[in-house]
Structure 1
Amino acid sequence: MLALEDSKLEISPKTIGSLKHLRFLCFPERSVDKKVSKSICKLQNLQLLALRTEELGSDIRYLINLRFLMFSTKQKCLAKNGLGCLTSLRSLWIYECENLEYLCEDMQGLKHLRTLSIHLCKSLISLPQNLKYLTALETLAIADCENLNLTMEEGKDNQDLARFSLQNLNIASLQQLVIRNCDELSGRCERGQGEDWSKIAHIPNIFLDDSEISSTGN
């Protein structure tokens, strides 16, 4: 286990890449450069990774044993054949990605993902259509994503990311839905009154702006 919190500490890509048996690696408050990020992807025994980086490249797919991933990136769109190839991933946290507009289009590969949390991604326009194939997903949390659009126009191409609609999201095992700081969406999901309440009423645990709404389908 290695947690690097000192922002002044210089990190050698060669040193990081040689820690073959490392399972937990955290860069909680600092950003790592592209060379370090690429070296991290050599650590095939890694199970937990938390980092800030300029780019989360496709080399991330080599972390075949990764269970927990928390990251911040400067990208506008995540690379294909990268994040979506992490078949062992159980928990994914995406935070403070100011430029991120779209997630990767191959997320259907995250077959064991149970928790997806997206926070402070103010440029995020939509969620990918293939999110509906994450049948193991139990917790979906979205906060401070003020430009996120979850509506879809009838008769339009369902593959258009900017018109993704939550009512077409089919996740049989979803147990918890968290919505924070999204005033319009919170209003639409208000218990018994919001126009989208019927679409989420089956979810056992719903949190709107930190207020718990217990639901049993009523």
Structure 2
Amino acid sequence: MGSLEEWSDAMVPSDSSSSIKVFPNLRDLTISDLPKLAVLPDMENLTSLKELEIQECGSLACIRNLNSLASLESLHLYSCPALLDASLDMENLRELIISGCDKLNPSLSNNLEKFTSLERLEIRSHDPGCWPIMVLHRLANLRSLTLGGFSDILDLDHFPWPHSITNLVSLETLRLYGWPKITSLPDQIQHISTLTSLEIWEFEGLEVLPEWMGSLRNLRELWIGDCSNLRQLPSAEAMRHLTNLNELRIYNCPLLAKRCIKGSGAEWPKIAHIPLVVIDFNKV
């Protein structure tokens, strides 16, 4: 692991000719807490770099020559609100996590479909209108997808989701973060037959989980958190269809937790057969 603060002497000032001139064998680089950094130095010499993480760089507007990092497999961008351009066009990238970089989203929308090797994608954004969701169905190798992170001022009453997801044939893990105005989950999820893990967080307007969840026959793990008004699981019949479900975790969902009390809760008969049930960190 490397930190840019530790290597400041190895860099020239961040002008048009700047570059990171040493560490050609570096495999993992973290750049963090540099509020005045506006342009990241060129990194063409980092030919062995596999993982790059950039976080808490509030003035960073541009990352040059990322496409020259042919060996890069993992890119994490956190809390860089001024970032406009990262020159993202890396066919070998396997993992992309972006959170708190809303200005970058339009550029990402135009390039994401080129990431043919992408296996994990996480986008946390306050502006879902800029999400690259319309190209998700082109990411045939995607195994893990996380979407969400909205601000409370949005007037959306539904979760934005692409109409076509037929090519998500490898997706195993789906993690969604909602917001208070949403009262339902995207119906399209029921068609992702490959899902083995589903996490639902911060859907405060959701009261009942949909009946179609019973069609997720390969589901092994179901996590539900911070859904303060959720009180009911799908029907007992739908839950019985989840024959592979062996783990149910419920966190900070007081109404549902009360109804899942072992032996006496109204929802308990629906989940009694599940090998591992955890409610608020307590195994039931």
Which band: TM-score by shorter chain?
0.7 to 0.9
Q: Does 1:94 align with 2:176?
A: yes
CA deviation after TM superposition for structure 1 residue 134, in Å: 0.9
Work out whether residues 84 and 108 of structure 1, in 8 Å CA contact, stay in contact via their aligned partners in 2: no
Instruction: Note closer, same or farther for the CA distance 1:207–1:8 as it changes in structure 2 (3 Å cut).
Output: same
Opposite residue 168 of structure 1, the aligned amino acid is A
1:52 aligned partner: 124
Q: Does 1:66 align with 2:139?
A: no
Deviation per residue, 1:40-98 (Å, 9 max, x gap): 23322110111123234332111111111112154523334245752211111112545
C-alpha separation in 2, matches of 1:80 and 1:130: 18
CA deviation after TM superposition for structure 1 residue 33, in Å: 2.8
C-alpha separation in 2, matches of 1:41 and 1:99: 30
1:175 aligned partner: 246
1:158 aligned partner: none
Q: Secondary structure at the match of 1:61?
A: helix
Q: Secondary structure at the match of 1:77?
A: coil
Q: Say which of 40, 50, 73 aligns to 2:112.
A: 40
Count of residue pairs brought into register by the alignment: 199
Deviation per residue, 1:109-128 (Å, 9 max, x gap): 31221111111222335444
Superposed, 1:1-218 pairs within 5 Å as 1-8=74-81, 10-12=83-85, 15-16=87-88, 18-31=89-102, 32-53=104-125, 54-55=127-128, 56=131, 57-72=133-148, 74=150, 75=156, 76-82=158-164, 85-95=167-177, 97-148=179-230, 150=232, 165=235, 168-169=238-239, 170-213=241-284
TM-score, length of structure 1 as denominator length? 0.78
Instruction: Note closer, same or farther for the CA distance 1:100–1:62 as it changes in structure 2 (3 Å cut).
Output: farther
CA deviation after TM superposition for structure 1 residue 12, in Å: 2.5
C-alpha separation in 1, matches of 2:186 and 2:123: 18
Work out whether residues 159 and 178 of structure 2, in 8 Å CA contact, stay in contact via their aligned partners in 1: no
Q: Which runs of 5+ in 2 are unaligned?
A: 1-73, 151-155
TM-score, length of structure 2 as denominator length? 0.62
C-alpha separation in 1, matches of 2:95 and 2:228: 32
Deviation per residue, 1:158-192 (Å, 9 max, x gap): xxxxxx54653320110011112222211211111
Work out whether residues 140 and 170 of structure 2, in 8 Å CA contact, stay in contact via their aligned partners in 1: yes
Instruction: Note closer, same or farther for the CA distance 1:63–1:135 as it changes in structure 2 (3 Å cut).
Output: same
C-alpha separation in 2, matches of 1:129 and 1:86: 22
Moved more, 131-140 or 91-100: 91-100
Q: Secondary structure at the match of 1:92?
A: strand
Rg (Cα) greater in structure:
2
Moved more, 43-52 or 126-135: 126-135
